[in-house]
């Protein structure tokens, strides 16, 4: 075996990334190394591949339990025997790990630094041939870094007690000179190969936004990225809790993480995120070093961090799988005050002498100023970051908020007449003002215009306003844009001190009563979220493949559930995308795809190929059928007599079955059809159902509280294959409710 075949066969990757090969070669030749690579750069492989090629055992010192667990699980998935030793195991389990390791059962053992100098571990180590000691997150040894771990200082003592010194390999993503010096000195690396790879992460889209209403922006963003998973970083625990609550209330699968939560909740929430049960993680900077989740497709900073090192490390958690991802910082001047407070009152310097404290305080304030400068730059964000890390770069990129904006030629903006929309919106606000004497929030305004069945909306009786639902046809993000444009042009006002309320201005009268024209100047395809399509590194699948991609995701979720590991450990999104576009039909073709190693092909190949084969058959079957079925069926219209023949099913039935039974009531020679899908779409649009894109769970739609109040429920059923599944069910009450609405002509008209 050589390194190239290990890379291909075990890990399924075709080529090494920047820096990996040189570091691996050095380790294999017996030389110490110090590798500095950005988060997601691929540091783990640099010691994992030598571990398989060297004769003895490889120890990996790693700071966090979750990190070890994740890596060991990933190695096992690739068929590589590995284990970890930390305080999450009982003493008996630890003894068992050491016993099996003593028999040579593992190639790698991950160990927490606290464990190195314990008697049992020292005894174990004495009996082993340890050829490589890898130190992951090596910046933890330095007081200068963000994550100082005093126990990292034990590493040298441990190495000194070994009869034979192993090769030492240290890795970090922190590039500052002080930290680098500390790592080499404190770990006593011997003439290491020092290798700093490029810090650019081409698949990340950087942007800074000044939003008056960060929460509203975030909700829009999340709405537009429902099927994606990401992290929202906040400066304080309190913000985490409040924001997480708000997002949950708005129907997002959000969870939270900060140092004030108890261990059990932190672990549970982190797992929910890893397993895609929760798609949005709202957290302080306490969350992160321990996660290697590869399919994080956005990192939003709700507040500005304290320095660029932290920012780049946190933002870098996006897009580890190489797929395009967004890094957006929501800046507000208040963030600077919070950051200053946190720096001045931080507890991490308490044990240091006064002089050092002052020195660190000055340093931190300087770093904060640079972070502010980043937020304010109108130059290329990527260039700013790379400058900071001392790396050469092109003057601009085409993948950051500033470069993309500047690239839009001024002539390409269009002017749109939005008078009618403006009249509807202003009139709606006006009606609410008249009803309540006060205005209403932007979110609620959109709900009213869209005719939502939101509970609060109903309790305030906004559904009785004549303007309720007058803009149902308009997409909600566009409604938000209209509203903001009206604010910008001064037709709507946000009273000072309360950004969440909108009222009409005097100017609004002109639009409402004098037919004043409202023009909206914008860049053609107005963007309200970063345009990452432009940056696509591993392209999205074509329209035809999206379907296959979804099916593969479903399969992956099922495989992950069976194996009890997070989905991304089975295959990355990037790998699934490659599979969905290559559509392999043999195992050999599958193996040729980046990200598919031998072990995974063996374990999952058959299942994957079966899904693809079935999909291909379906496609073929669909073609002629589509041609035949050109004529779409008109909506179903039933007379009151026909409707009266419907007998409500007391056991509850699916929407498809309900639609089928209704359709069966029409006369045989009449056209017209109602499908379960139409019904479901309608209920979704009206707010009785909501979409839930959780991968662990195939169920896409579920009733909202409004839906439950009319009798739509979820029930557990058993499928033909004997497997249980959850179904959206129309109870007798819901069927009756729908019949009444049908008789009033409220459905499918
Ligand atoms: P780091 O520790 O540097 O943050 P990881 O070692 O966790 O990064 O690797 C990040 C991701 O990149 C992992 O999902 C890994 O599987 C993938 N990766 C590593 N090396 C390669 C490679 N040569 N080709 C493709 N993907 C790789
Ligand atoms: Mg790592």
Rg, Å, the chain Cα set: 29
Instruction: Tokens for 680, please give them.
Output: 């479901």
DSSP 8-state assignment for residue 542: P
Q: Whose CA is nearest to atom 16 of ligand 1?
A: 42
Atom of ligand 1 nearest to the CA of 594: 25
> What phi and psi values does residue 336 have, to the nearest 5 degrees?
-65, -40
Q: Whose CA is nearest to atom 10 of ligand 1?
A: 40
Question: Which has more confidence, 103 or 699?
Answer: 103
CA-based nearest residue to 221, from 142, 120, 300, 141: 300
pTM exceeding the 0.75 threshold for the entire prediction: no
The reported pLDDT for the residue numbered 408 is 47
- What confidence category does residue 220 fall into, taking pLDDT thresholds of 50, 70 and 90? very high
In angstroms, the first-to-last Cα distance of the chain is 68
Give the least confident one: 33-47, 72-86, 404-418, 601-615.
404-418
Q: pLDDT tier at 221 (50, 70, 90 boundaries)?
A: very high
Q: Which of 121-135, 340-354, 732-746 has the highest mean pLDDT?
A: 121-135
- Under the banding of pLDDT at 50, 70 and 90, the label for residue 168 is very high
Virtual torsion, Cα 363, 365, 369, 372, nearest 10 deg: 120
Please write the tens of the pLDDT for every residue from 374-399.
998 888 999 999 888 877 788 888 88
Q: Which residue has the higher pLDDT, 348 or 6?
A: 6
Give residue 596 CA to ligand 2 midpoint distance, Å: 20
Name the residue with higher pLDDT: 70 or 117. 117
| Per-residue pLDDT at 662 exceeds 60 | yes
SS3 (DSSP) at 650:
coil
Low-confidence winner among 115-129, 439-453, 616-630 (lowest mean pLDDT): 616-630
Q: Which residues pair with 34 in a beta bridge?
A: 170, 194
Question: For ligand 1, what atom is nearest to the CA of residue 322?
Answer: 12
Average confidence score pLDDT of the chain: 85
* Ligand 1 centroid – CA 226 distance (Å): 26
Q: Is a pLDDT exceeding 60 seen at residue 695?
A: no
The protein residue whose alpha carbon is closest to atom 12 in ligand 1 is: 42
Looking at all shown ligands, the one closest to residue 313's CA atom is: 1
Is 525 a residue whose pLDDT tops 80? no
Query: In residues, how long is the chain?
Result: 749
Helix (H, G, I), strand (E, B) or coil at 613: helix
> Quick one: pLDDT at residue 145?
64
Which residue's alpha carbon is at the smallest distance from atom 19 of ligand 1?
Answer: 42
Instruction: Report the distance separating Cα 567 and Cα 432, nearest Å.
Output: 47
Whole-Å CA distances, 32 to 45, 169, 198, 442, 519: 16, 6, 21, 58, 65
62 CA to middle of ligand 2, Å? 9
Ligand 1 atom with the shortest distance to the CA of 44: 6
Quick check: 597 and 78 in contact, CB under 8 A? yes
Res. 628: pLDDT tops 90 = no
Which residues surround ligand 1 with Cβ inside 6 Å?
13, 16-17, 20, 37, 39-45, 292, 294, 320-321
- pLDDT for 706: 83
DSSP string covering 24-54: HHHHHTT--EEEE--TTS-HHHHHHHHHHHS
- Produce one character per residue of 108-139: b if its CB has 16 or more CB atoms within 10 Å, e if not: bbbbbbebbeeeebeebbeebebbbbbbbbbb
Tell how far the Cα of 295 is from the centroid of ligand 1, in angstroms. 12
The closest-lying atom of ligand 1 relative to the alpha carbon of residue 74 is 16
Nearest ligand, CA 10 = 1
Q: With left for phi above 0 and alpha for psi between -120 and 50, is residue 418 left, alpha or beta?
A: alpha
Tokens (6 digits) for 10 = 């075990």
More confident residue, 748 or 422: 422
pLDDT of residue 574: 79
How many whole angstroms from 84 Cα to the centroid of ligand 2?
15
> Given pLDDT bands bounded at 50, 70 and 90, which one contains residue 534?
very low
Question: What value does the mean pLDDT take over residues 673-679?
Answer: 85
pLDDT above 60 for 748: no
**Would you state the pLDDT for residue 348?**
64
CA gap 533, 530 in Å, rounded: 9
> Could you give the residue ranges of the DSSP H alpha helices within 229-291?
237-249, 263-274
CA distance 592 to 572: 15
pLDDT at residue 40 is higher than 50: yes
Q: Is the pLDDT of residue 529 over 70?
A: no
DSSP lists the bridge partners of residue 330 as 209
Q: What is the DSSP string of 387-412?
A: HHTT----S--SSBHHHHHHHS-GGG
Whether the per-residue pLDDT at 699 is higher than 70: the answer is: no
Among the bound ligands, name the one nearest to the CA of residue 323.
1
286 CA → ligand 1 middle, Å: 22
Please check the confidence at residue 536 and state whether its pLDDT lies above 90. Answer: no
Higher pLDDT, 61 or 535: 61
What's the mean pLDDT in 174-192?
Answer: 90
| Ligand 1 atom closest to residue 20's alpha carbon, by position in its atom list | 23
Ligand number with the minimum distance to the CA of 60: 2
Question: Please, which pLDDT band fits residue 540 given cuts at 50, 70 and 90?
Answer: very low
Q: Which of these ranges, 179-188, 539-548, 645-654, 696-705, has the smallest mean pLDDT? A: 539-548
Pick the atom of ligand 1 nearest to 13's CA.
24
The rounded Å distance from CA 4 to ligand 2 centre is 21
Render the burial of 42-55: b for 16+ CB within 10 Å, e for the rest: bbbbbbbbbbbbbe
CA 172-598-277 angle, to 5 degrees, is 60
What pLDDT sits at residue 644? Answer: 83
CB 424 within 8 A of CB 531: no
Q: For 232-281, how does the pLDDT look when each residue is reduced to its tens digit (9 = 90+)? A: 999 999 999 999 999 999 999 999 999 999 999 999 999 899 888 999 99
Which mutation among 3, 43, 45 tests ligand 1's pocket best, with the greatest number of atoms within 8 A of CB?
45
Query: Sign of the CA dihedral 444, 446, 447, 448?
Result: positive
pLDDT band at 736 (very low <50, low <70, confident <90, very high): confident
pLDDT at 744: 67
CA dist., res. 220 & res. 530, Å (int): 12
Report, as an integer, the average pLDDT of 309-335.
90
Ligand 1 pocket: which of 5, 16, 44 to mutate (most atoms within 8 A of CB) = 44
- CA of 7, closest atom in ligand 1: 23
Report whether pLDDT(465) > 70: yes
pLDDT reported for residue 413: 66
Q: Which tokens go with 673?
A: 């059809």
């Amino acid at each position: 075996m050589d390194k190239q075949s290990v890379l291909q066969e075990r890990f399924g990757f075709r080529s090494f990334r920047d820096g990996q090969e040189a570091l691996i070669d050095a380790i294999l030749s017996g030389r110490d190394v110090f590798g500095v690579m950005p988060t997601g750069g691929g540091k783990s492989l640099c010691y994992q591949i030598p571990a398989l090629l060297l004769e003895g055992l490889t120890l990996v010192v790693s700071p966090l339990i979750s990190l070890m667990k994740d890596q060991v699980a990933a190695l096992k998935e690739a068929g590589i025997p590995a284990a970890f030793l930390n305080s999450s195991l009982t003493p008996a389990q630890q003894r068992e790990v050491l016993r099996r390791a003593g028999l040579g059962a593992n190639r790698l053992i991950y160990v927490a630094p606290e464990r190195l100098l314990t008697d049992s571990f020292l005894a174990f180590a004495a009996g082993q041939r340890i050829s490589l000691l890898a130190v992951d997150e090596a910046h933890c040894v330095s007081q200068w870094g963000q994550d100082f771990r005093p126990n990292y200082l034990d590493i040298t003592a441990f190495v000194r007690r070994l009869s034979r010194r192993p090769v030492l390999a240290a890795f970090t993503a922190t590039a500052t000179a002080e930290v680098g010096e500390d790592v080499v000195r404190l770990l006593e690396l011997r003439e290491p190969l020092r290798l700093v790879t490029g810090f650019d992460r081409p698949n990340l889209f950087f942007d800074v936004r000044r939003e008056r209403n960060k929460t509203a922006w975030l909700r829009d963003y999340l709405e537009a990225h429902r099927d994606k998973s990401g992290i929202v970083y906040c400066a304080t625990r309190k913000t985490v809790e409040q924001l997480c609550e708000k997002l949950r209330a708005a129907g997002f699968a959000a969870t939270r993480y900060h140092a004030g939560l108890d261990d059990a909740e932190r672990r549970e929430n982190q797992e929910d995120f890893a397993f895609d049960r929760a798609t949005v993680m709202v957290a302080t900077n306490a969350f992160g070093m321990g996660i290697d989740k590869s399919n994080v497709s956005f990192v939003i900073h709700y507040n500005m961090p304290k320095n660029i090192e932290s920012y780049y490390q946190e933002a870098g958690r996006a897009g580890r799988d190489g797929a395009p991802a967004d890094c957006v910082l929501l800046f507000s001047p208040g963030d600077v005050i919070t950051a200053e407070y946190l720096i001045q009152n931080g507890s991490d310097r308490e044990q240091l002498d006064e002089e050092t404290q002052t020195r660190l305080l000055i340093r931190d304030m300087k770093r904060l100023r640079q972070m502010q400068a980043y937020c304010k730059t109108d130059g290329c964000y990527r260039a700013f970051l790379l400058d900071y890390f001392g790396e050469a770069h092109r003057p601009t990129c085409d993948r950051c908020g500033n470069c993309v904006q500047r690239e839009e030629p001024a002539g390409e903006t269009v002017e749109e007449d939005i008078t009618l929309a403006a009249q509807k919106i202003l009139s709606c606000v006006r009606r609410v003002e008249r009803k309540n004497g006060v205005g209403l929030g932007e979110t609620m305004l959109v709900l009213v215009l869209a005719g939502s069945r939101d509970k609060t909306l109903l309790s305030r009786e906004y559904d009785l306003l004549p303007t309720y639902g007058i803009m149902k046809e308009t997409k909600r993000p566009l409604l938000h844009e209209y509203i903001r444009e009206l604010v910008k042009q001064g037709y709507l006002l946000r009273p000072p001190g309360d950004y969440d309320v909108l009222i009409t201005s005097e100017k609004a009268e002109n639009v409402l009563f004098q037919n004043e024209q409202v023009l909206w100047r914008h860049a053609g395809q107005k963007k309200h979220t970063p345009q990452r399509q432009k940056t696509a590194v591993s392209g999205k699948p074509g329209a035809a493949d999206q379907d296959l991609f979804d099916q593969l995701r479903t399969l992956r979720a099922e495989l992950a559930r069976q194996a009890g590991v997070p989905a991304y450990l089975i295959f990355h999104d990037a790998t699934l995308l490659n599979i969905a576009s290559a559509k392999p039909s043999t195992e050999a073709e599958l193996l040729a795809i980046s990200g598919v190693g031998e072990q995974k092909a063996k374990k999952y190949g058959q299942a994957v190929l079966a899904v693809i084969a079935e999909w291909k058959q379906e496609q073929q079957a669909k073609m002629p059928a589509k041609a035949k079925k050109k004529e779409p069926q008109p909506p179903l219209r039933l007379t009151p007599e026909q409707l009266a023949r419907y007998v409500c099913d007391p056991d509850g039935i699916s929407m498809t079955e309900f639609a089928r039974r209704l359709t069966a009531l029409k006369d045989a020679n009449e056209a017209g059809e109602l499908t379960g899908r139409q019904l479901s779409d309608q209920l979704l649009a009206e707010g009785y159902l909501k979409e839930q894109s959780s991968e662990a769970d195939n169920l896409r739609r579920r009733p909202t509280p409004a839906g439950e109040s009319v009798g739509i429920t979820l029930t557990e059923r058993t499928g033909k294959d004997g497997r249980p599944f959850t179904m959206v069910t129309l109870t007798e009450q819901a069927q009756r409710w729908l019949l009444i609405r049908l008789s009033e002509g409220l459905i499918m008209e």
